[in-house]
Amino acid sequence: MVWNSGWRLASASSNAGILGLIGAGSMYPEVLRVHIQKCKKATSKPFGVNVPLLYPDIEALMAVIVEEGVSIVFTSAGNPKTWTHWLQARGITVVHVVSSLKFALKAQDAGVDAVVAEGFEAGGHNGRDETTTLTLIPAVKARVTLPVIAAGGIASGRSMLACMALGADGVQIGSRFVASTESSAHQAFKNAVIDAKEGDTKLTLKELTPVRLLKNKFYNTVEALYKKQSTVEELSALLGKGRAKLGMFEGDLDHGELEIGQVSSTINEIQPVQQIVTTIIKEYNEASTHLYKL
C-alpha cells in the first residue's frame, strides 16, 4: 500500500472499526513521524505501521515508531528475525507478511505474534511461488500455531467469509481501499483501478522483487525486455527509482508502476472507507446466514 495508505486512510479505517495501517514503505523517517502524529490526532482507536524490512534507513524508521508510541507493526519483505524481538522488547506487537508456508514457519521461529499469509492474487510485492490464497491459507493454518491473517484477492464480505472457512483468524485488505476517498493515491490511479478488467494485472519482475502490476506502457516495456532475454541489470535500470510514486501518487498512468491486485476487476466504485467497511460486514453476515441455511 505504498503511496496509498497515509494517515487519512489509516485513521479512517480505525475509526470504521478495523485496524488501519500506515504504509511506511514510501516514507522517509520524519515523514512517517508526521503521519503517525496526524493519525493519533484523527483517531483514538488502535492503528499500526507496515514496514518493508528492505528499507535503506530502517534503524531511523524503527526509532520513529518507538518514539511515537506505535503499538502494532506489520513487517514485510525481509527477515523477521532482524527486528521482531527488538520491537517486542519495547511493547510492540509484531505481525509478519509471508507468501509461502516455508516463510510462515520461519516467521513463527522468529517469534512473531501473527502472520499475514498473502496469496498470489495480491497487489504490489508478492511471492515468487505464485501460491494462491485458496491454497496458502489452509497450508499455513495446518502448520503454525500463530494467528493467521489471510490476504490476497479479498475485497468483499463473501471473500472474507471464504478465508475464515479456510481457517483464517482475520483478513487484511489492500486493493479495495486503494479505491477509497481517503486513499492518498492519485485520482487517475484510482480511476484506473475501478476501470480494470479481468486479466489486466500480472505478476512480473521476479528477478528483482516480484510485483503485481496493472498493465500499461511501462509494463509493456518490461515485457519487451523479457522477450529480448534482457539481464537483471537491464531490468533494474528500466525500473530505476520512483516508478511507484510516479504512477500511483503522481498519476502518470503510462510510465509509472501501477501496483494493484487481481481483485481490482471486481472494484467498480470509489467510496469512503466507512461505507466500504459497512458493505463488507453486511455482505459477510448475509453470506454467513445463507451458508447456514444451506
% of the chain residues with pLDDT over 90: 84
| CB neighbours of residue 209 within 10 Å | 14
Is residue 28 over pLDDT 90? yes
Question: Tens digits of per-residue pLDDT, 247-256?
Answer: 999 999 999 9
What pLDDT, on a 0 to 100 scale, did the predictor assign at position 127? 79
pLDDT band at 240 (very low <50, low <70, confident <90, very high): confident
What pLDDT, on a 0 to 100 scale, did the predictor assign at position 206? 86
Is residue 125 over pLDDT 80? no
The separation between the first and the last C-alpha atoms of the chain, rounded to the nearest angstrom, is: 37
Q: What is the mean pLDDT of residues 2-17?
A: 95
| Residues 117/151, Cβ–Cβ less than 8 Å | yes
* Cell numbers describing residue 173: 485488505
What pLDDT, on a 0 to 100 scale, did the predictor assign at position 152? 96
How far is it, in rounded angstroms, from Cα 35 to Cα 21?
11
Q: What is the mean pLDDT of residues 123-140?
A: 90
Is residue 2 over pLDDT 90? no
Half-sphere exposure of 223 (CA within 13 A, CB side): 11
How far is it, in rounded angstroms, from Cα 141 to Cα 105?
11
Q: What is the mean pLDDT of residues 126-131?
A: 84
> Whose grid coordinates read 520461519?
106
Sequence-ordered strand ranges (E) for the chain: 20-23, 47-52, 72-76, 93-98, 114-118, 124-125, 148-151, 170-172, 201-204, 211-214
Mean pLDDT across the chain: 94
Q: What is the mean pLDDT of residues 97-105?
A: 96
Is residue 280 over pLDDT 90? yes
How far is it, in rounded angstroms, from Cα 57 to Cα 117?
26
Q: The whole model's pTM is what?
A: 0.93
pLDDT band at 208 (very low <50, low <70, confident <90, very high): confident
What pLDDT, on a 0 to 100 scale, did the predictor assign at position 26? 85
Is residue 67 over pLDDT 80? yes
Question: Tens digits of per-residue pLDDT, 163-182?
Answer: 999 999 999 999 999 999 99
